[in-house]
Amino acid sequence: MVAAYHTRYGQMVQGSAEQVLRAEATTMYRGRVQLIFTSPPFPLNRKKKYGNHRGDAYVTWFASFAETFREFLTADGSIVVELGNAWVQGRPVMSTLALKALLAFLDRGRLHLCQQFICYNRARLPTPAQWVNVERIRVKDSYTHVWWMAPSERPKADNRRVLKPYSAAMRRLLQTQKYNSGKRPSEHDIGTESFLTDNGGAIPSNVLEFANTSASDPYQEYCRKHELSLHPARMPLGLAEFFIRFLTEPGDLVLDPFAGSNTTGAAAERLARRWLAIEPREDYIRGSVGRFGDGVTVAWL
Ligand SMILES: C[S@@+](CC[C@H](N)C(=O)[O-])C[C@H]1O[C@@H](n2cnc3c(N)ncnc32)[C@H](O)[C@@H]1O
């Protein structure tokens, strides 16, 4: 493993997660990580630009990380994994590999599934194109799964850190202090004062909406300027920020073992959380430097 760069709050190391998490230099992080937030290489039936295992080998490979990840976590730490949908090549059917891998991972790590989230991207291009655009026998695949897991049933979490702005209707209600109480068709009994307190925002649902829609941001500009190709599977910065806010506090340590363009590190830096990122590909690491502006010290250039 090679130290690639560091910032005020974190560092990027070059290497595979297997190698780095077993190295002497990372033993000091064991039992200290509050959140592992990552989007692993997902199972593909054709080769993409980054390393992907195929078929059952993927399930075994991914599940093999469960115990190690657990060893790095604090007692009330969390693991959050983003996984897209995979399709069987050449056929209009979905691959079940990602689900098998998730179940094997939960099992191997003796982890609880705290909650499943959906990350909806309304701007996503129609895929798989053959079945959606050409034959018109499927609809657009436009979300990724985000699985929140933990060794404890009550990991550190606080939804007050991720409140969203109230809707116009709720703002009106808070102003007028009037609404219809009583039984709803769903059998919920709404009290006369249930909605009269201003809590500073609404509790979000587990359907999140984030997308990488901007054609230009500091990362993309940096990559263009230095003629580096953009990472093909970047996650939206807002998604990383959401889970870092929700499941950690300033000063906590966040780990991304499959960091790619280091979206996780950038989100953690903005939120004053310490972070450790691991990525084997030098070109992706070089591009990710651009996420930190002047606040980065590059070790191997
Ligand atoms: C889905 S991408 C992560 C993208 C990242 N979340 C971002 O926003 O840029 C998965 C990354 O895992 C890396 N990878 C593949 N095999 C790995 C391994 N054994 N250890 C660590 N990283 C690996 C790939 O190079 C790729 O950049």
- Atom 12 in ligand 1: which residue has the minimum CA distance? 258
Dist. CA 21 → ligand 1 center (Å): 14
| Cα–ligand 1 centroid distance for 271 (angstroms) | 22
Q: What separation, in Å, do the N-terminal and C-terminal C-alpha atoms of the chain show?
A: 16
6 lines ligand 1 (CB under 6 A): no
Q: Rounded to the nearest whole angstrom, what is the distance from the C-alpha of residue 258 to the centroid of ligand 1?
A: 4
Is there a single domain that holds both residue 149 and residue 121?
A: yes
Same-domain check for residues 170 and 119? no
Going by alpha carbons, the residue nearest to atom 5 of ligand 1 is: 260
How far from 102 is each of 21, 110, 202, CA to CA, in Å?
Answer: 20, 12, 30
The pLDDT tens digits of the residues spanning 144-193 come to 999 999 999 999 999 999 999 988 888 787 778 777 777 888 888 877 77
Task: Mark whether 9 and 49 lie in a shared domain.
Answer: yes
Sort 28 into a burial class: Cβ within 10 Å, 0-12 / 13-18 / 19+: exposed
The full DSSP string for 147-168 is: EEEESSSS-S--GGGG-BPPPH
Distances in whole angstroms, Cα of residue 284 to Cα of each of 5, 13, 108, 217, 231:
13, 12, 30, 16, 6
Is pLDDT above 80 for 32? yes
277 alpha carbon – ligand 1 mean position (Å): 10
DSSP letter at 289 equals G
Q: State which amino acid sits at residue 226.
A: H
Please tell me whether residues 151 and 285 are part of one structural domain.
Answer: yes
128 Cα: distance to centroid of ligand 1 (angstroms): 22
Out of 12, 50, 53, 82, give the residue to mutate to test ligand 1, the one with the largest number of ligand atoms within 8 Å of its CB: 50
Which ligand 1 atom sits closest to the C-alpha of 42?
Answer: 1
Last residue of a domain, which of 202, 217, 252? 202
The response to whether residue 50 sits with its C-beta less than 6 Å from ligand 1 reads: yes
DSSP string, 182-218: EE-TTS-EE-TTTT-S--SSBPP-SEEE-----S--H
Task: Indicate whether residue 16 lines ligand 1 (CB < 6 A).
Answer: yes
pLDDT digit string (tens) for 68-94?
A: 999 999 999 999 999 998 888 899 999
* Atom 8 of ligand 1, residue of closest alpha carbon: 234
Residue 54 near residue 100 (C-beta atoms within 8 A): no
Whether 98 and 228 share a structural domain: yes
227 in the same domain as 112: yes
Average pLDDT, whole number, for the chain?
Answer: 92
Whether the pLDDT of residue 239 is over 60: the answer is: yes
Cβ-based burial of 77 (10 A; exposed 0-12, middle 13-18, buried ≥19):
buried
pLDDT of 247? 98
Q: Are residues 7 and 103 in the same domain?
A: yes
Judgement on whether residues 190 and 150 belong to the same structural domain of the protein: no
| pLDDT computed for residue 44 by the predictor | 63
**Pairing state of beta strands 33-38 and 207-209?**
unpaired
Average pLDDT over residues 247-267: 98
In this structure, the answer to whether residues 181 and 263 fall within a common structural domain is no
Tell which atom from ligand 1 comes closest to the C-alpha of 284. 27
Determine whether the shortest distance from the Cβ of 69 to ligand 1 is under 6 A: no
Which among 152, 174, 202 is the end of a domain? 202
Q: Rounded to 5 degrees, what are φ and ψ at 187?
A: 80, 0
Please work out whether the CB of residue 278 comes within 6 Å of at least one atom of ligand 1: yes
- What's the confidence (pLDDT) of residue 160? 97
Domain boundaries, position 175: 164-202
Q: Is 261 in the pocket of ligand 1 (CB under 6 A)?
A: yes
Going from the Cα of 163 to the center of ligand 1, the distance in angstroms, rounded, reads: 30
The pLDDT tens digits for 108-131 are 999 999 999 999 999 888 889 999
Alpha carbon 279 to its chain's center: 15
Residue ID of nearest Cα to ligand 1 atom 26 = 260
Q: At 107, list the tokens.
A: 């099992």
Looking at the fold, whether 40 and 135 belong to one and the same domain comes out as yes
Per-residue model confidence (pLDDT) at position 93? 96
Query: What are residue 11's DSSP bridge partners?
Result: 6, 276
Kind of pairing, strands 33-38 and 10-14? Answer: unpaired
Protein residue with its CA nearest to atom 25 in ligand 1: 50
Q: Is 286 in the pocket of ligand 1 (CB under 6 A)?
A: no
User: Are both 119 and 26 inside the same structural domain?
Assistant: yes
Report cis status (omega within 30 of 0) of the bond before 204: no
Residue nearest to atom 16 of ligand 1 (CA): 51
Question: Is the domain of 46 the same as that of 97?
Answer: yes
Domain count, the chain: 2
Q: What is the CATH number of the domain that holds 27?
A: 3.40.50.150
**Last-in-domain residue among 150, 175, 202:** 202
